[in-house]
Chain A
């Protein structure tokens, strides 16, 4: 019996998903709970498993297409159906994928949930490019480099004629686009066959407001590659990262600030206890947990940095959930250490290792990337000494920890050699002025500088 597979609902605030990659092709046999399609939302990437034993008849939503939750994405044939599972010959594309497609890294850990979420499989392929500056978190870089990394998520070329976006925009859409100066190529359509509806355009205008022209997608997509160019199509993840960045820089008036931090004491402490810490806790002790702790404590003291712009108000966040920018195989991801202010150095180190490892193995859950109230990016891992980070929208600020360098500095009117680290911050100038943000940075700085070789770690 034929049935329609709908894009399952995956929780509040997620209203649509982009088809990442079909793991099965029309004609392929399906086993219940077997991964069928990767769906990318602006929170996380998940695999939707087959709800039935049977076969895939027809793909209704093509790779790269964004469809609302509940929209039909495929036609399935259940095994008990009268037609069996034999596909009609013409429904099988000539480029049939391997019978066992690229296994997703987390396919052994999937679990079907029940209830309204239908066939949602959790714990899979996070991307959540929710913003933050470019960069990486490299504390465990040496060891992790050798770990098998997840296969890159490259959407396969579409096997059939994708309908998206080709139809003529309606008069209402054309008028509104003209009124608001919107390039329709930038708007995602949710109507029939990917058509841009009037509501799509209104949502787009409300989301982008004043400066649509600065979008990263403003470049004409139709330009053909010149003789000295190679045009690389955007992966859905690249596009989402781009959207997140544009959203942040177009909506948030960024201001930047940098402080120098003398971390000589911290370096001495870490050097002294690193081996013992590894022994007792089983985790390599890096500088990052200290930075997170200092940031969390400073946020406690200056709550307007742990906030969001609410249009006619400022929204202070009670919980301090620090997102950490991590370079995952597919691109930037920002897993969140929830309630970072309640964790010890050991707790932070453990949480950090857990999140970064799972990020690199594409095993983050949607909870892992949700709820961040502040973001920290360890750009120093790449050797950077100054950054101009982009705020992780809609947060109030982002800080980077830059590379620790020994520098000649003046101490007590003498030149001393100290381990110095810059901390750079971008803050939403609607929410905070230089006074608050400067005081916040000083609070972070003084906490880090107060650490010495004898500071107890628990």
Chain B
């Protein structure tokens, strides 16, 4: 198996699905000639032509509206939002229309659309290139939300997303693009949406995370392993629909739960998972459920020191684990 990074995995998935199904097409800012600002669509325009890899104006509402209309007509569009920070103009198309179309037409208008969204901080991107946007979509019925952390998961899940008849918000953490490498099988594969993955088995504490933070969680779990703290790391992979069973089984086993995400703490994915544990694993909890998340500040600070302060990291996670273990 070849070792690839996340951006290569994304590109492979796009290419394979476009080769497999002529209804699949890409549209977005700089996705064509430029190959995307992260080169996710690099050279795809050469292979599939301008009609299937479409450069658009800087108008996210239009990108999403065009994609939605195409989906209504049986196409499988993959709109790209260049940075998640720029998704807000498209919110009415996404939440007001896309998420509700299938339900509102009693199934007559499914939306087989995959919205690719590079997101996340820790990349010195400052106020407008670092945001986490998952909570909004996580809250919205009618959308699926996928947030892989590894090349293998990214490719397998993106292919499933493209084939899915529901709209899928596909979140790609920008820092993982070239930081995280892993083996990709030569043969074709897909991974089911809605299944979490236990990336590290353990007995004492459950850590639930996704995206870039998953890797910090794995590092932290390794760091405290020498202290006799055996951590189980659950990679959600899909935020919505949430794989409750995997989370609950792990929490019931360990009795302790830490949730780590980069998005702001209040009302985030972690809040929902904490509520899930309180609802359905209450009698198994042996310590307070804790969240280690980004603070409630309006956006990512630009100053390096402040960004470091904002981002959860391996040390902070290890400290939280030690605290849980000692409780």
Contact = CB atoms under 8 A, between A and B. Distances in A.
Interface string A166-207: 000011111100000000000000011001011000000000
Contacts of A175: 283-284
Contacts of B327: 191-192, 195, 197
A191 B327 CA distance: 5
What is the predominant secondary structure among interface residues of chain A facing chain B? helix
B326 interface: yes
Contact of A192 (B282, B285, B326): B326
B283 A171 contact: yes
Interface in A139-190: 170-175
B58 to A, nearest CB: 52
B249 to A, nearest CB: 15
A378 B222 CA distance: 55
Interface residues of B, number: 9
A332 B86 CA distance: 77
A192 B326 CA distance: 6
A192 B255 CA distance: 15
A60 to B, nearest CB: 13
Nearest to A169: B286
A171 B251 CA distance: 13
Interface string B306-327: 0000000000000000000011
A198 B326 contact: no
Contacts of A173: 286
B39 interface: no
Nearest to A71: B326
Contacts of A174: 283
B179 to A, nearest CB: 36
Which of B285, B286, B287 gathers the greatest number of chain A CB atoms within 10 Å?
B286
Given A192-B326, A192-B327, A198 B286 contact: yes
Nearest to B228: A70
A170 B283 CA distance: 8
Nearest to A201: B286
Nearest to A172: B286
Contacts of B282: 171
Most buried by B among A172, A175, A192, A197: A172
Contact of B284 (A171, A191, A192, A197): A171
A90 B287 CA distance: 32
A206 to B, nearest CB: 16
B283 A198 contact: no
Nearest to A70: B228
A170 B285 CA distance: 7
Nearest to B227: A70
A173 B284 CA distance: 8
Interface string B265-297: 000000000000000001111110000000000
Nearest to A167: B327
A174 B284 CA distance: 9
Nearest to B287: A170
A64 to B, nearest CB: 20
A197 B286 contact: yes
Nearest to A197: B286
A172 B284 contact: yes
Contacts of B287: 170
A249 B286 CA distance: 31
A195 B255 CA distance: 15
Contacts of B283: 171-172, 174-175
A192 B287 CA distance: 10
A198 B283 CA distance: 11
A310 B210 CA distance: 46
A107 to B, nearest CB: 33
Interface in A325-379: none
Interface string B49-75: 000000000000000000000000000
A197 B326 CA distance: 10
A172 B285 contact: yes
Contacts of B285: 170-172
Contacts of A172: 255, 283-286
Contacts of B255: 170, 172, 198
A307 B284 CA distance: 39
A195 B325 CA distance: 12
A172 B206 CA distance: 15
27 contacts: A170-B255, A170-B285, A170-B286, A170-B287, A171-B282, A171-B283, A171-B284, A171-B285, A171-B286, A172-B255, A172-B283, A172-B284, A172-B285, A172-B286, A173-B286, A174-B283, A175-B283, A175-B284, A191-B326, A191-B327, A192-B326, A192-B327, A195-B327, A197-B286, A197-B327, A198-B255, A198-B286
Given A173-B286, A192-B326, A197-B286, 4 more contacts: A170-B255, A171-B284, A174-B283, A195-B327
Interface of B: 255, 282-287, 326-327
Interface of A: 170-175, 191-192, 195, 197-198
7 A-B pairs with least C-beta separation: A198-B286, A175-B283, A172-B286, A170-B286, A198-B255, A172-B255, A171-B283
